[in-house]
């Protein structure tokens, strides 16, 4: 770390601590997701926020932290709140810092993800991509996903008759979704490991990553863009039955994806289709091993597994938070919201809100009509939700069936990302 960087970091830490001290005095509770305890178990903090200050003023976030289900649902469903980060009062400041660190502006040259766009740009891009994720299109993938699940399990070191040990994330939960999304896009099997590396790096743009992490993510996305450019050019000459061919040819009311939009969309599908499903599988196995009665229930009634995926998503969501930005002054929950403020929406907290779910802190795989927030709501509801549910259900069914006596075989290590929650290491004995 350079002297300038060390000084900047020390100054930031001092400012942050001062802001947190003011926050505690003003509200009685502090939202500080960088604490190590928060990574392994954020739910005690969520309970405190809902009980003490559910519409919480956070000076560090320059806005508000929302922890109740109904408040979060209202914001996600209100089109007047923006997903475009340029509407945040701090965007210009952060952009200047990013420029000093050699990072490009994500909104230049159509490089921003549709997750961070508002209509009409968001509407146009989503309509072009959504055809690949219709219920019919996803159901057609079932047979191949089942094959990938079985092939991945057959390759585990524990596949012999005496069983053994394996690490769930590295050996199963990560390879499965990367194989599925790579095949959907049309990436050759020989390039899967490179594809997985790019995905692991690209996700470092989320949360509280360092400037170096972000530089690595940008390099990975540039490499991925060059790789996809070659595939896209080939598909223009020789189309195939894959998603890149579909995106190249996509046309909706005479509007096509630009070259930059195609690459950005493929990166989004890669990260969203890989990281979240990996964490869904990991979180689900942790939850079931910690609730053996619910695991036994699924063993005895495997037909419940598809429905149980929604309860597992509610109980411990792979996506813990998202944000929106205030575009006009207004009142909400007795608070005065100013234009440019950020609203941090704690999806994981809303999913455990006792006003929305009975016995909210309990896992119940028989729970019905689970209207969780894990896939968002409104305009930005997750396009791949049906695919994630299907992959998660088939993965869990195979694990529970093949390894009826699986158990933890060491300490769980949790990832460090504040947005995406899941184990980075989950050792099992079977």
> Peptide bond before 277: cis, by omega within 30 degrees of 0?
no
Strand partners, 255: 252
What is the predicted pLDDT for the residue at 254?
61
**Residue 104 CB-density burial (10 A; 0-12 exposed, 13-18 middle, 19+ buried):** middle
Tell me whether residue 134 is exposed, middle or buried, using C-beta atoms within 10 angstroms of its C-beta: 0 to 12, 13 to 18, 19 or more: exposed
Sequence-ordered list of residues with C-beta below 8 angstroms from that of 134, at least 6 positions apart, any chain: none
Rounded to whole angstroms, the Cα distance separating 4 from 85 reads 27
Q: What is the pLDDT of residue 419?
A: 87
- Do 389 and 281 contact (CB within 8 A), yes or no? no
pLDDT for 12 equals: 52
Name the region of 395 (left: φ>0; alpha: ψ -120 to 50; beta: rest): alpha
Task: Please report the pLDDT score of residue 219 as a whole number.
Answer: 87
Q: What is the pLDDT of residue 215?
A: 87
Structure tokens at 64: 């508000």
What are the structural domains, with CATH classification, of the chain? 3-27+35-429 (1.10.630.10)
Distance from C-alpha of 343 to C-alpha of 81, rounded to nearest angstrom = 9
Q: Collapse the DSSP code of 65 into the 3-class scheme (helix H, G, I; strand E, B; otherwise coil) and give the result.
A: strand
In the block, tokens 């000093």 appear at 100
Strands (E) in 51-109, as ranges, are 55-58, 63-66
Q: What is the pLDDT of residue 322?
A: 95
- What is the mean pLDDT, run by run of 10 residues, along the chain of 430 residues? 39 69 84 80 95 90 92 97 94 87 80 86 86 84 94 79 82 92 86 83 72 85 84 88 82 66 81 87 98 96 94 97 95 94 96 98 96 95 92 96 93 89 94
């Amino acid at each position: 770390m350079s002297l300038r960087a060390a000084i900047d970091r020390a100054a930031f830490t001092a400012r942050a601590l001062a802001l947190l001290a003011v926050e505690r005095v003003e509200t009685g509770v502090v939202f500080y997701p960088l604490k190590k305890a928060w990574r392994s178990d954020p739910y005690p903090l969520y309970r405190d926020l809902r009980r003490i200050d559910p519409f919480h003023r956070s000076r560090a976030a320059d806005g508000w932290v929302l922890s109740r289900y109904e408040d979060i649902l209202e914001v996600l469903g209100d089109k007047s709140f923006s997903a475009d980060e340029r509407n945040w009062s701090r965007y210009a400041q952060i952009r200047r810092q990013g420029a000093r660190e050699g990072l490009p502006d994500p909104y230049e040259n159509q490089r921003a993800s549709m997750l961070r766009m508002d209509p009409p740009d968001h509407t146009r891009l989503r309509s072009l991509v959504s055809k690949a994720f219709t219920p019919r299109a996803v159901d057609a993938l079932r047979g191949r996903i089942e094959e990938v699940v079985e092939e991945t399990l057959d390759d585990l070191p524990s596949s012999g008759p005496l069983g053994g040990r394996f690490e769930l994330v590295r050996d199963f939960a990560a390879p499965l979704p990367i194989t599925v999304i790579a095949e959907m896009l049309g990436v050759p099997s020989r390039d899967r490991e490179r594809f997985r590396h790019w995905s692991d790096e690209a996700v470092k743009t989320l949360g509280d990553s360092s400037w170096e992490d972000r530089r690595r993510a940008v390099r990975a996305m540039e490499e991925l863009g060059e790789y996809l450019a070659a595939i896209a050019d080939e598909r223009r000459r020789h189309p195939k039955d894959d998603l890149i061919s579909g995106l190249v040819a996509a046309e909706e009311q005479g509007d096509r994806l630009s070259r930059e939009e195609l690459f950005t969309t493929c990166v989004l599908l890669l990260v969203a289709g890989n990281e979240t499903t990996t964490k869904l599988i990991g979180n689900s196995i942790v939850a079931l091993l910690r609730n053996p009665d619910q695991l036994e229930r699924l063993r005895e009634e495997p037909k419940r597994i598809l429905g149980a995926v929604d309860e597992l998503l509610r109980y411990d969501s792979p996506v813990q938070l998202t944000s929106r930005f205030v575009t006009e002054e207004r009142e909400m929950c007795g608070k005065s919201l100013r234009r440019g403020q950020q609203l941090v929406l704690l999806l994981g907290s809303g999913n455990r809100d006792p006003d929305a779910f009975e016995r909210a802190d309990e896992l119940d795989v028989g729970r019905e009509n689970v209207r969780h927030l894990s896939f968002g709501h409104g305009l930005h509801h997750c396009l791949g939700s049906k695919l994630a549910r299907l992959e998660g259900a088939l993965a869990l069914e195979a694990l529970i069936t093949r390894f009826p006596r699986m158990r933890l075989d060491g300490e769980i290590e949790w990832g460090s990302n504040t947005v995406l929650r899941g184990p980075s290491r989950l050792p099992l004995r079977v």
